[in-house]
Amino acid sequence: MPVKQMGSLVVWCLCLSVLAGCSSITSSLTGRMSESLASSILNSNDPETVRQGAPAYLLMIDGFITDDPENPNVLMAGARLNASYAGAFVDDDVRAKLMSLKARDYGRTALCLSNKTTCGIWEEPYDQFETVIEALGPKDIEPMYVAAMAWATWIQVNRDDWVAVADKARVEKMMLRVVALDEGYGRGSAHLYLGVLAALLPEALGGKPEEGRRHFERSIELSGGRDLLAKVLLARDYARMVFDREFHDRLCREVLEADPKVEGLTLSNTMAQGEAKALLDDSQDYFGE
């Protein structure tokens, strides 16, 4: 979607809010509108347009949440987009930390509103947290996944903070629960996050690169190879860590040769191809062979 069209759509939505009155817009309409706009962004093949146009949408989502703070669908849309934008487009550490914190809090609130047993569990002792997560069922998969995804992004952005990294076990527990309930949810994307978390640290510091590889490969399998980001992360977070250039370069070439256009993954795949090219171009310098 061109920037001008994106801006026009945002203006149209804001005008609709003014004409109808924000409080009179039903939760379902607001949720559907948020989800539709999120879909248009995720299916874009022009990352730079998204970089320039998405902030206006993020502000609009914040407005929807302010107007309807107990709508889990809008909160989940806000969590997804803030986390995605912070992780993919924001180079400034301070901004990335603020956006990922907002995403984390939106995700937690959405899960709490969807299942009251989860309210306030974030700082509880781990065994109590684990008990609540283990009791969640199929209807809780989406809000649990979104909350965990946003929390994982916050940890990645704050990976230099050991207090933040200490939360990794809780996010892993949530993603493992998603896998236990529906391994194929989101084309196996829970495995992707489990791979990132396992490979977050070097093995000498407690990281588990081989476990990370298994999760990345399972994510690739469950997406039918269509989620190119999983291969890029396997190359960047695993192959580089274990210094396997042949595996690294093969993965990058496979990503570059693939068709990035996949419903719900086009933006991610397009960006993955850009990252794969950068990794491949840097391969000689990194591996020194």
Give the pLDDT score at 12. 31
pLDDT band at 186 (very low <50, low <70, confident <90, very high): confident
State the virtual CA torsion across 103, 155, 48, 221 in degrees, nearest 10: -100
Q: Is 206 exposed, middle or buried (0-12, 13-18, 19+ CB in 10 A)?
A: exposed
pLDDT above 90: residue 39? no
The string of pLDDT tens digits covering residues 262-278 is: 888 888 899 999 999 99
The string of pLDDT tens digits covering residues 210-264 is: 999 999 999 999 999 999 999 999 999 999 999 999 999 999 999 999 999 988 8
Give the pLDDT score at 264. 81
pLDDT band at 8 (very low <50, low <70, confident <90, very high): very low
The string of pLDDT tens digits covering residues 93-142 is: 999 999 999 999 999 999 999 999 999 999 899 999 999 999 999 999 99
The string of pLDDT tens digits covering residues 51-95 is: 888 788 888 888 889 989 999 988 998 898 899 888 888 889 999
Within 10 angstroms of residue 126's Cβ, the number of other Cβ atoms is 10
pLDDT above 90: residue 160? no
Torsion sign (Cα): 81, 87, 89, 95: positive
Distance of alpha carbon 57 from alpha carbon 35, whole angstroms: 12
Give the pLDDT score at 31. 52
Distance of alpha carbon 3 from alpha carbon 242, whole angstroms: 41
Give the pLDDT score at 28. 54
Give the pLDDT score at 18. 31
Residue count (the chain): 289
Residue 198 or 35, more confident? 198
Give the pLDDT score at 7. 33
CB 219 within 8 A of CB 225: no
Question: Once rounded to an integer, what is the mean pLDDT over residues 16-22?
Answer: 32
